[in-house]
Amino acid sequence: MWVFLHRKRFGKNNVILSDIRKPADNVFYSGPFIYADILDYKNLREIVVNNRITWLFHYSALLSAVGEANVPLARAVNITGLHNVLDIAAEHNLRLFVPSTIGAFGPTSPRNPTPDLCIQRPRTIYGVSKVHAELMGEYYHYRYGLDFRCLRYPGIISADSQPGGGTTDYAVQIFHDAMKTGKFQCYLKPDTRLPMMYIDDCLKATLEVMEAPAEALSMRTYNISAMSFVPEELVQEVQKHVPELQVTYKVDEVRQAIADSWPMNFDDRNARRDWGWKHDYDLPELVTTMFSFLGSDSRIAQIN
């Protein structure tokens, strides 16, 4: 998780985590934690002023599938919450990071590869809110001098957290199901290609772009990528570790439509040129690492 990486780098008392719910004990007791509601502007300002905040990482958002199920809440959290953060960051001269996503592109965007600058017409409230965030952050940078920095994440795969309602979460769920039941049902078609990234690469990229000198950045929002695969390719790699894994496909039309409107590959050459982005994990390393964290040895031994 990013909070551990940042606390290791900057000191545990110098990184404050906030949320509307208490995190797991290992996170809660690892350093400062403050209750914060992204929609409570006054409280956010108090937190920034009272704790002498200089960098702000804004991760509050409803993801793609969850957002479609509750558009009013997604609009409030993803857009009104962003406005609160932008105003506070500009007022207090903060360096602000806001993540974007493959969902910021749409069916009319070039998909293979997708460049940093192209047509963006997403068809989810999540995607629309992220395009809004990119443009508003860039506007605040040029209008008010805000040091806004943004990365478009691909699908992020992590052993630390359960799937959270995203369209790419099948690539996390397969590992948990392989461990627990040996059976996995995929909600996307087996040939649905999407860009993906292991969490360690995601954290590394975020820290690198935040530490990059401002003069090295030729833009405020960058694509970053590591690998691109289809469910069938992931299944084949997982079955090298759990050969008895049984896989079926039951397509979720909502998520499939979302995936079909997203990039198949990211063009991230600008990030690699401007601030030296370079990923460490390809698909084989990703799968091996995931099983290592989830304790695959015990599962494989049980099967055997």
At 227, phi and psi to the nearest 5? -150, 170
Three-state SS annotation for the chain:
CHHHHHHHHHCHHHCCEEECCCCCHHHHCCCCEEECCCCCHHHHHHHHHHCCCCEEECCCCCCHHHHHHCHHHHHHHHHHHHHHHHHHHHHCCCEEECCEEHHHCCCCCCCCCECCCCCCCCCCHHHHHHHHHHHHHHHHHHHHCCEEEEEEECEEECCCCCCCCCHHHHHHHHHHHHHHCCEEEECCCCCCCEEEEEHHHHHHHHHHHHHCCHHHCCCCEEECCCEEECHHHHHHHHHCCCCCCEEEECCCHHHHHHHHCCCCCECCHHHHHHCCCCCCCCHHHHHHHHHHHHCHHHHHHHHC
Q: What tokens does 263 get?
A: 């990039």
Handedness of CA 40, 41, 46, 48 (dihedral sign): positive
* Pair 129, 82: CB distance under 8 Å: yes
From the list 35, 126, 144, 222, the catalytic residue is: 126
State how far the Cα of 136 lies from the Cα of 150, in Å rounded to an integer: 11
Please tell me the predicted confidence (pLDDT) of residue 6: 85
Query: Residue 107: how many CA atoms within 13 Å on its side-chain side?
Result: 7
State how far the Cα of 244 lies from the Cα of 234, in Å rounded to an integer: 15
> Active site includes 126?
yes
Residue 113: is the preceding peptide bond cis (ω within 30°)? yes
- What does the pLDDT look like over 165-217, one tens digit per residue? 678 999 999 999 999 999 999 999 999 999 999 999 999 999 999 999 999 99
How far are the Cα atoms of 21, 33, 51 from residue 25, in angstroms, in the given order? 12, 11, 22
Please tell me the predicted confidence (pLDDT) of residue 302: 45
- What does the pLDDT look like over 24-56, one tens digit per residue? 898 898 999 999 999 999 999 999 999 999 999
Please tell me the predicted confidence (pLDDT) of residue 38: 96
Ordered mean pLDDT values, 10 residues apiece, the chain (304 residues): 84 93 89 96 97 96 88 96 98 98 94 97 94 98 98 92 79 94 96 96 96 97 97 97 96 92 95 98 96 67 42
Please tell me the predicted confidence (pLDDT) of residue 299: 45
Q: pTM surpassing 0.95?
A: no
Q: Which domains does the chain have, with CATH numbers?
A: 36-302 (3.40.50.720)
Please tell me the predicted confidence (pLDDT) of residue 298: 45
Average pLDDT of the chain, as a whole number: 93
